[in-house]
Structure 1
Amino acid sequence: MSRCVARVGAGLLTGGLLWSLSLGSAHAQSDSLRTLDRQLSRYSQQRLPEKLFLHVDRPLYVSGELMWFKVYAVDGVQHKPLSVSKVAYVELLDREHKPVLQGKIDLQQASGQGSFVLPKSLASGTYTLRAYTNWMKNFPPEYYFQSSVTVVNTFGSVTKAGPPAQSGFDTQFFPEGGHLVKGLTSTVAFKVTDQWDQGVAASGIIVDQRGQNVAQFNTLKFGLGSFTFTPTEAGATYSAIIQLPNNQTLTRKLPAVQEQGYVLHLAPTAADVLTVTVQTTATEAADVLLLGHARQQPFVATMGRFRDNKAVFTINKKDLPDGVAHFTVFNNARQPLCERLYFTPPTQQLSLSASTDKPEYQAREKVSLQLSAAGPGAQPLAANASVAVYRLDSLATAPGASINSYLWLSADLKGRIENPDYYFSPTSPEVAQAADNLMLTQGWSRFRWADVVGGPRPAPAFYPETSGHWIQGKLTHRATGQAAPGIPVYLASPSRQPRLYSAVSQPNGRVQFDLRDFYGPKEIVVQTNTQVDSTYRVEIDSPFSTAYAPSRVPTLQLSETLRPELAQRHLQAQVQTAYFKKFTNRYTLPQTDSLPFYGKPDERYMLDTYTRFKVMEEVMREYVPGVMVRIRKRQFHFQVINHLNDAPMTDDPLVLLDGVPIFNINKVIALDPLKIQRLDVITSKYFHGRQIHQGLVSYTTYKGDLGSYKLDAHALLQEYEGLQLQREFYAPRYDTPQAQQSRLPDFRNLLYWNPQVTTTAANPAATLSFYTADQPGSYVVVVQGLAANGLTGSRRILLQVKPAL
């Protein structure tokens, strides 16, 4: 018996050990799965998303007009103002994704402003306005801000048909969770659009390969809809027969049916409960993890076990974050099996109120506009806002998305959303179902799970410009084209206020110059020390992204009935150009440091106060005792006297002409001293970046244009557009009888633009004023705003201008 017992005991021990190992393996798998939420949190910290929103003054322009915009920069998680990046890149793209206008916008305290002059040669059409930061270039271009604007060139025939549009209709089908699986019931969403990418109302049936009707469907809103369907055969062909409003019938195939797989279904099962059901055809399915996250922040991670090939998760709606939430199911190998999106409209918004002192106004009458911002409970709240007032006419297209709908919805979905503000309407079953259809058809993740759960991630290719604009490029050997590492490179822009930037090329030859207070169009000079080696070549990169999100831009077609409105807009633009153009080219100059980059010099010589010599060598020997002139092997050299020990330093100092380094002192001696106004000297070692110079000698010409000096042939001279200068918005004031009686016509379409409206908790109301123009009609006041806590809001009101009696 003892043997038997021993055997039984051994058997029990072995079974217990196997059970223990199995349990340990299950725990290990569970722990491995549960690390996903921590990995996602770490990924989000390392790849903090940024979002930009542009408030554009109007949705439609005629060629020659000004486009104004305000840039809001927020973090992509809580939508709080994010002041990390100091530059936003804004582009206007045509149908072929070619930029027709580009600008670098200075961001201060997470906002900026800019403008584009639309050339008179710009063709009529629908253009894409997009914006991004340098950091955002690490992510897909779908992540950039994008909005459509219409431009009409009124100098030609604009009511005739444009280029032929894309013919036909586009229909797409999206199984919930990602796949159709044999024997498993799926919800299938669909989208029907026309050649203009507009949703089309449609209905239809689903037939199997024998022509039998197995399901039917109807669109709900914007060409979107969904239906329930259970495929019974793997590899079978299921088709949709679609009936369009024009009695046209289309036939489209559904996605292929898989023999094995997983199907996910999400549905509200109670007023405050969401149920996520995962079904599988696998006979021995392992545990799965449901991970819920919004904007890369996990909010639920729970394990599920299959019973009868089904795993069920319940989630309290109160635990859902605002906006777009992702529900992803993983197997025990941490592979994503299926994913589903769900939208929760934000429960709290920035409440913006706007009111005018009168409902109607006469021409050239003052309008007083009061704005205020409040948070939950009507508590006054500090906010940053922008305001536009423009005339409504039959040309006006649909207004752009509000800051609220963009940040909480459009920015987290792929592709164009038709009327995004609709999904923020008061809650109703139809709005909820329409939002669910949108989630099923336009789901998108900003990242790949392989990047989250993989090994060490490579460093990002682009870093945020935290202090100002960066000019980047590459240094190579002229003969071989190979990268040249470890070489000092200098960048300067000739000016009376010298600005010099230096960098040392990286192992891959890349160079980067951190520019501050660099505004407007300039000439830049980039070079290495040609006295040491002139075998290098430098190229400067464009900072604008060359990645473009796929899009369907419709051809602009204007009806002949719009000809009177077009003629009116043409007249308005021409009158404004003729009489007020001089007022539209005024700029607010940035406050920059008036000192040169090296600060206050140890010695300064204003040459006009001395006897003028015609030879620079005499100037240096007679006027500048702190700089010794030496000649060695027919080559001139400077030696600066170090004021700390009153001894000459051994090597040549850094010598500048209008901020541009000159490495050959013979060329300095050859300068015409009559063109030099000022001479500065630093009489100690000067540290510039990673370079140490034996003092500094700086010459400044009267015009800051290098005088007659010819740059070294190896230097790169290039036109470069710095940060955009801020154009001042001009609107006439009729605050005197003489101004009101002026015979100058005022045909402004845009009455008012103010990108810098602020309210505070102590002073929650802001009062703005402007004057109406000579054009009667309805005008819309559009307000967009952002609070420091991330609350967003918008407001639209109308005011009327009566015809003159």
Structure 2
Amino acid sequence: MQVKNPILIIVLTLLLFYLFTAVSYSQTSESIADAIAEKVQVLTQNQNLDNVYLQTSKTIYETEEDLWFKGYVLDAQSFIPSNRSKILFVQLVEDASDKVVWQKKYEIENGFVNGHLFLESALIEGNYTLSAYSSNSFTKEPGEFYALKKIKVVQTINQNPTVVPVEKDSIIHFTSFPEGGQLVSGINSNLAFKSVNSKGLPVAVSGTLFENNTPLVDFKSSHAGMGLLTFTPDNNKKYHIQLSEPTSDKIYAIAPVASSGKVLRLLRNTKETLTFKVTQSDGLKEERVYLRLQIRGVVYSIATGLLKKELTIKIPIKELPQGIAEVTLFNENALPIAERLVYVNQEQQLTIQTELDKSSYTTREKAKLKIKVTDQNGQPIVAHLGLSIYDGIYQNKQDVKNIQTHYLLSTQLKGNIYNPVYYFNEQNKNRNQALDLLMLTQGWRSYVWNEANLKELGNAFKPIIFEEIKGKVHLQKPDKKATTVIGEKGMTVFSADESKGSDFMLTDTTGVFTIIPNDLKKGEGGYTYIKLMSAQKPKYTMTIKDFSFETINNECSTKTLLYPLAKIEKRNTQVVSPFTERESINKLKEVTITSKKKGVVFRDKYIGKLDSLYKAQNPTADFVCHDNVLNCELHKGCPGDRKRPIEGEKYTTCDGLKWLKGSGPCGGYFISGHCNEITYHYPELTEAQLLEMFNIVMIEGYYGKKVFYEAVYDEVTITDSTPDYRNTLFWKPDIITDDKGEATISFFCSDINSLFFGNIEGVSGEGLLGREAFQFNVKKSE
């Protein structure tokens, strides 16, 4: 059996009135441990899944701005940048109407995407969702979808905060969760609880646990409607909970109390170890039990020990990655009997330190930023970072999603999570206790990598969008009475940019061919063309159709989009500029540029080239005789007196010309009819007609890359009277630290007098995640 990490058979401390050490294991216990480990890893070994996260340059945009984004495509288990997928399919959806207003393909390079899109002036104000899909992250199952980023689009930014009333909700959903999964009579146990309203937002509560209608334990929530109470249940008694705040007469039942069984409790969670206590009912026989710890489908340890009455188990976790660990207790028959989630190793992350050369700048002043990245041991580390520096008024603090909350919480647990950034803020002193409550109340059944959930998915990877596009060559006018063998056909692949060269490929014997991601790169920023190389007769044509976005739209309609729930605020937490002299920027009305040239306007210069080639080949029957008459009726049969008409030249057209009796057919006298002078134009063909004429098909390539504009001021340009209203001072999605973990960037401030924010996020080659924020003032120069 191959495993990603060795199974650690841990020597355990047994506790039954006194301590002694278990130092020997039978071959049978080792084989059972292997089988328990294999249960999970067999289910994940063929998944090959990626996990996509989107970082944007800010969270509030005005129309007619570029939305800059960075796509992280990481391995779903290790969080290492993935090379599985080459194409990121991106959509921008208006939330109110669920209408797709933008969709393009972007190239994934070594697990990252550097992308942008332009927000048209026609976009209505409101909330939008930027979504991303790849062939290895967007699958038929599961039914939840996480790879999205919420943004707000406005016509003009408003720096006056608005009061957001908190809607009253009298509906309370109160649920309790026994630690380990069950309450057992006579065994002291923890009972976690969670209270939310009808919108899934937490409700602070207090109440009482009653035993046979007698108050037993008073309790109150400690964080986000969650809390914990401890008692020793008795299966011969009845229990219920009643809330005193908010006041309610409703009675809430708790889980049934088993007459006998085993209970799993977490005693301590330190940097070094997890300590558990397993307790079983009096009268149960002594047996060997197993405790498995797995993180994202990888089994890191299996502890085993002999359980009599109580058993204390310590699991070393120092070398484990940060994240949610699922701990499952198995009996001697390898059947699961208790389970719980534990969050481990919050320190296993990127520590990103930022240092500006000043805390405050004047308008148009140059700023320098030093970046230092280390691992949990303080050692410098190479990391791939994305950095944005922008006017703080464009930050929507109601958005509580970042790279850590996405990868470490939201995508690991089913259901929306309330204010997940709380658990990663070191200033919150009770964050570890609050995080453990989340683990208890969200439940192991919600863990994406839970064995039961993995079984539902199956161990076969089921992609629903594909990076390769199929095409087919066929006869233009097939003979239905005869069977025609297409055979291998050659074709060239190229773009309008001749410097990118061309490639040659063959169809199979049935005429089928495949467009691969590299072909889309050839047409980046435009189109990729495929020209069929075949004889004129019989005439062959090609058909090709990309159903990617159509498939995405169909599948999205069946999925639940999950996004972290924002922290409840009495007032909008949008940042207000602390400076009163903020300029009011008046946008010019939209200017539409039209061409004087009438007729078809081609989107790609290569189509224009085909149009010119078509005209140069003169495929029409038009001609001009020596008298400069277009399509002269008298000279149809006189080749020597004919020439080809020229685009834009003036010619005569006549009606009623005929030869006099006894003269002709190519010389002599004729009677003139009615004549006019015209400017000659070739018949105008559409793109489709031109492509069909030259036996070419085209597909859209990757959306073109764009360089972020960075202003540079020197002694001359700093006095330029042209206003600089850049609200995003810097955007760079591909900062890579050196072997010292360092990087230095510089940028120039604009004319905006405001408080600016910096946001930096990233990942290392080992899968460590991290983020950091900073801020500084920009004031008008005196």
**Normalization by structure 1: what TM-score?**
0.65
The separation in 2 between residues aligned to 1:249 and 1:343, in whole angstroms, is: 34
Residue 748 of structure 1 aligns with which residue? 726
1:385 maps to a residue whose letter is L
The separation in 2 between residues aligned to 1:551 and 1:56, in whole angstroms, is: 18
Which segment is superposed worse, 297-306 or 278-287? Answer: 278-287
Q: Alignment RMSD, CA only?
A: 5.6
User: Deviation of residue 293 (structure 1)?
Assistant: 0.9
Q: Quickly say closer, same or farther: Cα 1:562–1:189, change in 2 above 3 A.
A: closer
Contact map agreement 2:526 2:704 (CA 8 A) in 1? no
Contact map agreement 1:501 1:515 (CA 8 A) in 2? no
**SS state at 2:137 partner:** helix
1:549 maps to a residue whose letter is T
The separation in 2 between residues aligned to 1:370 and 1:703, in whole angstroms, is: 57
Residue 256 of structure 2 aligns with which residue? 257
Contact map agreement 2:47 2:460 (CA 8 A) in 1? no
1:770 maps to a residue whose letter is F
User: Deviation of residue 274 (structure 1)?
Assistant: 3.1
Residue 559 of structure 2 aligns with which residue? 548
1:438 correspondence with 2:438: yes
User: Deviation of residue 396 (structure 1)?
Assistant: 3.7
> Alignment partner for residue 734 of structure 1, among 713, 717, 735?
713
The separation in 1 between residues aligned to 2:337 and 2:472, in whole angstroms, is: 43
User: Deviation of residue 779 (structure 1)?
Assistant: 0.8
The separation in 2 between residues aligned to 1:325 and 1:102, in whole angstroms, is: 37
User: Deviation of residue 292 (structure 1)?
Assistant: 0.8
Residue 225 of structure 2 aligns with which residue? 223
**SS state at 2:393 partner:** coil
User: Deviation of residue 539 (structure 1)?
Assistant: 7.9
Structure 2 counterparts to residues 652-731 of structure 1, below 5 A: 705=687, 708=690, 710=692, 722-731=701-710
Q: Quickly say closer, same or farther: Cα 1:428–1:707, change in 2 above 3 A.
A: closer
Q: Quickly say closer, same or farther: Cα 1:799–1:769, change in 2 above 3 A.
A: same
User: Deviation of residue 199 (structure 1)?
Assistant: 3.5
**SS state at 2:433 partner:** helix
The separation in 1 between residues aligned to 2:575 and 2:769, in whole angstroms, is: 39
- Residue deviations 1:430-485 (CA, integer Å, cap 9, x gap): 2321121121123433345358789x9664222897xxx3336999xxxxxxxxxx
Residue 655 of structure 1 aligns with which residue? none
**SS state at 1:137 partner:** coil
User: Deviation of residue 254 (structure 1)?
Assistant: 4.0
Q: Quickly say closer, same or farther: Cα 1:167–1:569, change in 2 above 3 A.
A: farther
User: Deviation of residue 177 (structure 1)?
Assistant: 2.5
- Residue deviations 1:105-145 (CA, integer Å, cap 9, x gap): 31112211212334555555554444342112245254743
The separation in 2 between residues aligned to 1:364 and 1:353, in whole angstroms, is: 25
Residue 471 of structure 1 aligns with which residue? 469
Contact map agreement 1:423 1:431 (CA 8 A) in 2? yes
Contact map agreement 1:326 1:340 (CA 8 A) in 2? yes
The separation in 2 between residues aligned to 1:707 and 1:536, in whole angstroms, is: 14
The separation in 2 between residues aligned to 1:191 and 1:721, in whole angstroms, is: 50
Q: Quickly say closer, same or farther: Cα 1:721–1:347, change in 2 above 3 A.
A: same
Residue 749 of structure 2 aligns with which residue? 772
User: Deviation of residue 249 (structure 1)?
Assistant: 4.2
Structure 2 counterparts to residues 156-555 of structure 1, below 5 A: 168-181=171-184, 184-194=187-197, 197-207=200-210, 211-233=213-235, 238-241=240-243, 243-244=245-246, 249=248, 251=250, 253-257=252-256, 259=258, 263-268=263-268, 273-279=273-279, 283=284, 287-308=288-309, 312-318=312-318, 320-331=320-331, 334-375=334-375, 379-393=379-393, 396-398=396-398, 400-426=400-426, 430-443=430-443, 444-447=446-449, 449=451, 459-462=460-463, 469-471=467-469, 496=496, 513-518=515-520, 519-520=524-525, 540-542=547-549, 544=552, 545-546=555-556, 547-549=558-560, 551=562
Contact map agreement 1:236 1:257 (CA 8 A) in 2? no
User: Deviation of residue 795 (structure 1)?
Assistant: 2.4
Contact map agreement 1:158 1:558 (CA 8 A) in 2? no
Which segment is superposed worse, 456-465 or 388-397? Answer: 456-465
The separation in 2 between residues aligned to 1:237 and 1:353, in whole angstroms, is: 52
2:137 maps to a residue whose letter is M
**SS state at 2:299 partner:** strand
User: Deviation of residue 77 (structure 1)?
Assistant: 3.5
Which segment is superposed worse, 87-96 or 133-142? Answer: 87-96
Contact map agreement 2:400 2:565 (CA 8 A) in 1? no
Identity of aligned residues (%): 24
- Residue deviations 1:727-761 (CA, integer Å, cap 9, x gap): 3322433335345332x333332221111222222
Contact map agreement 2:296 2:449 (CA 8 A) in 1? no
**SS state at 2:181 partner:** coil
The separation in 1 between residues aligned to 2:348 and 2:206, in whole angstroms, is: 37
Which segment is superposed worse, 66-75 or 328-337? Answer: 328-337
Which segment is superposed worse, 413-422 or 555-564? Answer: 555-564
Unmatched 5+ stretches in structure 2: 1-25, 474-484, 594-604, 607-611, 622-643, 648-683
Contact map agreement 1:495 1:704 (CA 8 A) in 2? no
Q: Quickly say closer, same or farther: Cα 1:118–1:534, change in 2 above 3 A.
A: closer
Residue 70 of structure 1 aligns with which residue? 70
Q: Quickly say closer, same or farther: Cα 1:158–1:409, change in 2 above 3 A.
A: closer
User: Deviation of residue 95 (structure 1)?
Assistant: 6.5
Count how many residue pairs are aligned between Structure 1 and Structure 2: 650
2:753 maps to a residue whose letter is P
Which segment is superposed worse, 415-424 or 277-286? Answer: 277-286
Contact map agreement 1:572 1:749 (CA 8 A) in 2? no
Residue 739 of structure 2 aligns with which residue? 761
Contact map agreement 2:187 2:263 (CA 8 A) in 1? yes
Residue 627 of structure 2 aligns with which residue? none
1:84 maps to a residue whose letter is R
Q: Quickly say closer, same or farther: Cα 1:552–1:371, change in 2 above 3 A.
A: closer
User: Deviation of residue 801 (structure 1)?
Assistant: 0.7
Contact map agreement 1:472 1:511 (CA 8 A) in 2? yes
Contact map agreement 1:235 1:259 (CA 8 A) in 2? no
The separation in 1 between residues aligned to 2:448 and 2:318, in whole angstroms, is: 25
The separation in 2 between residues aligned to 1:285 and 1:489, in whole angstroms, is: 72
Residue 11 of structure 1 aligns with which residue? none
Contact map agreement 1:81 1:110 (CA 8 A) in 2? yes
Residue 760 of structure 2 aligns with which residue? 783
The separation in 1 between residues aligned to 2:504 and 2:165, in whole angstroms, is: 50
